[in-house]
Structure 1
């Protein structure tokens, strides 16, 4: 008790000292110029960090309801502009996209992605433009995405067969595990030429990689706390994961160099093949380093597996919770399939309700409800407010996509709304931007959608789904995890009964 009382006294004394220190700094330092966005009161040192709960996107949405769709928060010493309206998003990602196209340097992401030698976290500049161009023109063009059609069709058929085997014995099916395996296997084959199964060690490292990406250590916002790095163990975790990932990726590159495969040989080029070809062909003009290749491949995994997985997970959950929507979709898919045993990608263009279901699912459950932060490269005005150089900017797409002023019955899962509108998720309609927009928009949207649509169509074509133990559909737990990529908190466990035509 004596020790606790002493600690409380120290904390109280420190708080009083910081309060008066802050008053002195505010009185002796120049006042901010111009008309600043609305901002909640903030504490010394912490800024507004104490107002952020474990569910970050919900915390800032709650604050925006009070302070407006464009508000200025302070995470320690870092000013952060939060945009929670379509109008603000359009201003940032369209009208002033160039000056909002930088990325802040995040310490953990920088170390995991080879000092930001990838595309997602690279700062805006010539290096980023070159590598993004490589991704858009060589890896993720419509022609290249179409060339991987057989991979998607084969892997989705394998998933269906696994479910059929379990369904034959009436065993409950963990859809999360099967969907995660699907997205991992598709990306593995497309990016690296073969499947790299998630064994226990690999799974642990990949899981840790995702966890670390979601962490922004407190000392990054409050530099005077950097001494805590000696005790929190975070640096060792990052170093271990970075080393393990690099060891794996280095082995992949060396394997590809030995086999030296080419499109003209009759084999399929994977992403590593294409990047190594580009490296050889541009060795003297505009070289791409091994670390850049590794960083880009990591981008594909980080952006392609988890986001596709969570989108499918939520889509199946919403369909099971909404039996009428499920029945309408099944009728459409089964009518298009007719007597065919297998659906292929050509069939998808004849399924408008399927596309409406996917859009509604992305509206209700954007996999990343708060887009990766941007950083302002010069002073500007946004919707009449002054915003300073160096301010970080976050777009709350989760709040925008459920804005009742934009969407009728915004909390209701109703795919029919997308049969009545031309709104799409390609970055042109700012009330619906689950993949972002502008220069920093996701270049892999076409690839992700191709996997998700085909998997969803095959699942509802081949099976009827119920919950285990006779549970009612409306009892399905739809609570969210607290992470950058928002999964269901609990796995989706179903009974999958093979459909008899």
Structure 2
């Protein structure tokens, strides 16, 4: 922070890098000190760290389901070929036109929420839920994994069928309690949209660039979809796949990007 402060004094640089944005909070109306900036930095650092594992886990589960269901992969390729074509790579502005890809992301997060019990909550009052007393101060874990597989609210809940979200638009950022991969309320994941965009981007690039199939001698239905239980849910057996290029060779070279 000292380095950024000195650099801003010397050059008058107004670029809003991560640390610079936090430093603008210091002295704002006389209410914030360097300690407040450090606390904000640590909180945001925790958010970024928490988003790394969960994004990777979500992407792996989604790829496993896509490889396991060739029909889904074919529909994804057809959509991408129509929207993006074969002469460029996918960019973020394409997301809104890739409706089936969005449904695949949503369906994968329904079946495989990366934090199946969410983070612990604490009740701030005595409440009664479905006949059960929950005393004030109780630690509460919400089983979003079970909610998203409840046959009372989902048709064929164990089936990977992205089309269900084309038939009905279901919010997954805390407004529809049937689907809560990011939680809800004041404790909803602050990085929900970033996580959705990252998973969409990773899947989109992987699927647009390659045709994916199980390793030789393995049938799609033989892919191991068992879970490794824990605070976050990894695949017990990491997914293995063979990638076959689909695009012109020049699109596989590293493209310089302005950061």
Give TM-score scaled by structure 2 length: 0.87
1:258 to 1:421, Cα distance in 2 relative to 1, 3 A: same
User: Aligned to 1:414, which of 145, 161, 168?
Assistant: 161
Alpha-carbon distance, 1:403 to partner: 0.3
Could you give the per-residue CA deviations for residues 311-346 of structure 1, whole angstroms, max 9, x where no partner exists?
A: 111111110111111111111012101243111111
Give CA-to-partner distance per residue, 1:255-289, whole Å, 9 cap, x none: 54454499x8474522x3222221x2338313362
CA contact (8 A) 1:479 1:490 kept: yes
Question: Secondary structure of the residue that 2:227 maps to in structure 1?
Answer: coil
- Number of equivalenced pairs: 246
Q: Please, which moves more after superposition, 480-489 or 280-289? A: 280-289
State which of 24, 42, 45 in structure 2 corresponds to 1:298.
45
Q: Do the aligned partners of 2:22 and 2:41 also contact (CA within 8 Å) in 1? A: no
Q: Which residue of 1 aligns with 2:193?
A: 446
For residue 472 of structure 1, report the CA deviation from its aligned partner: 1.4
| Alignment-derived partner of residue 269 in structure 1 | 17
Alignment of 1:102-501 (within 5 A): 253-260=1-8, 265=13, 267-270=15-18, 272-278=19-25, 280-282=26-28, 284-287=30-33, 289=35, 291-500=38-247
Change in CA separation of 1:498 and 1:434 when aligned onto 2, cut-off 3 Å: same
Q: What are the Cα deviations for residues 158-204 of structure 1, in whole angstroms up to 9, with x where unaligned? A: xxxxxxxxxxxxxxxxxxxxxxxxxxxxxxxxxxxxxxxxxxxxxxx
Larger relative helix fraction: 1
Using the alignment, how far apart are the partners of 1:471 and 1:259 within structure 2?
Answer: 57
Q: Which residue of 2 aligns with 1:111?
A: none
- Work out whether residues 261 and 269 of structure 1, in 8 Å CA contact, stay in contact via their aligned partners in 2: no
Q: For 1:445 and 1:390, how far apart are their aligned partners in 2?
A: 27
Pair 1:410–1:261, CA change in 2 (3 A): farther
Q: What are structure 2's unaligned runs of at least 5 residues?
A: 249-259
Question: Deviation string for 1:113-139 (max 9, x for gaps)?
Answer: xxxxxxxxxxxxxxxxxxxxxxxxxxx
User: Residue 369 of structure 1 contacts residue 396 of structure 1 at CA under 8 Å; is this kept in 2?
Assistant: yes
**Using the alignment, how far apart are the partners of 1:366 and 1:260 within structure 2?**
42
- SS of the equivalent of 1:358 reads helix
Name the SS of the counterpart of 1:415 in structure 2: coil
For the pair shown, which has the larger CA radius of gyration, 1 or 2?
A: 1
* Cα deviation digits, residues 80-114 of structure 1 (max 9, x gap): xxxxxxxxxxxxxxxxxxxxxxxxxxxxxxxxxxx
Compared CA separation, residues 493 and 268, structure 1 to 2 (3 A): farther
* 2:8–2:14 CA contact under 8 A, matched in 1: no
RMSD value over aligned CA atoms?
2.2
Q: CA deviation at 1:358?
A: 0.5
Distance 1:499 1:258 in 2: 49
The DSSP-based 3-state class of the residue aligned with 1:395 is coil
Structure 1 residue 474: Cα displacement: 1.6
Q: How far apart are the structure 1 equivalents of 2:7 and 2:227?
A: 44
CA distance 1:497–1:443, shift in 2 (3 Å): same
Q: Tell me if structure 1 keeps the 8 A contact 2:212–2:244.
A: yes
8 Å CA contact 1:466–1:494 kept in 2: the answer is: yes
- Structure-2 separation of matches of 1:383 and 1:456: 39
SS at 2:242 equivalent:
strand
Report the TM-score, using the length of structure 1 for normalisation: 0.46
Give ranges in structure 1 of 5+ residues lacking alignment: 1-252
